[in-house]
Amino acid sequence: MAPPSEPAPQRCSRCGAGFAEEDPYCPSCGADAATTLLPAPTTGVRYAGRSVRCAAYLMDVAVMIVPAFPLSIAGILLGVSAVITVVVPLAFLAVWLWLQICLALTGQSLGKSMLGLRLVNLDHRPPGFGPTVLRSLVFVATLGLAALPLPGLHDRVSGLRVIDVAAGANPLGSPTRAKLRRAHP
């Protein structure tokens, strides 16, 4: 007689941490288990292609550049060079840091969210702050060449993957519909 099979591991949709079905709260983030308990993904996860990843990256770069334009124009009109040499780079860095925090907690930046992509670790959980910063630094250090093979060098070094949650399973929540593209399963 075969031993009874154990129930499938459960994951929190907010943070991705595994926990027992009888636990009232996620032991990692404290979310109510009744609303965030999801079965761990087993099939249907699809990795994102190069073109949609590139489009999401360009959207994120646009988000990082947006604060620079009005600040640069104000610095030029007012004749204050410190605005251009100090404030603009700090604004760029602040937006980059905000994007890294969003990626670490949810696996999605603005560009990834609009195109139905999600960054996850190898266990299909949210990536965390350290791996997202490492991934970004490797990408910048290689001048973007790290992204040429799939998965990219920056993904392999950081232990992260970009998945297409519009065309495949979404391990961190309900199915996602991309706002700016049609995904074909």
* Tens-digit pLDDT profile for residues 146-184: 888 888 899 999 999 999 988 888 887 766 677 777 655
Q: How many CB atoms neighbour CB 8 within 10 A?
A: 10
Region of poorest pLDDT, from 37-41, 83-87, 147-151, 155-159: 37-41
d(CA 109, CA 156): 19
- pTM of model > 0.75: no
pLDDT score for 168:
82
Confidence of residue 103 (pLDDT cuts 50, 70, 90): very high
Q: Is the pLDDT of residue 5 over 50?
A: no
Please state, in angstroms and rounded to a whole number, the distance separating the CA atoms of residues 123 and 41. Answer: 9
Query: Which pLDDT value is given to residue 11?
Result: 63
Determine which helix (DSSP H) or strand (DSSP E) holds 81, and give its type and residue range.
Answer: helix 81-82
What pLDDT is recorded for position 163?
A: 93
Sign of CA dihedral 102, 104, 108, 110: positive
Nearest to 44 by CA among 178, 156, 176, 148: 176
Name the DSSP letter for residue 83. I
The larger pLDDT score, comparing residue 140 to residue 38, is at 140
pLDDT(4) > 50: no
Beta strand pairing call for 37-39 and 18-19: unpaired
Average pLDDT, the chain: 82
Type of residue found at 27: P
Q: Mean of the pLDDT values across residues 36-48? A: 66
**Does pLDDT of 35 surpass 60?**
no
Tokens 């009109």 locate to 77
33 C-beta neighbours (distance < 10 Å), count: 18
In this prediction, residue 3 carries a pLDDT of 46
pLDDT band at 2 (very low <50, low <70, confident <90, very high): very low
Of residues 50 and 176, which shows the higher confidence score? Answer: 50
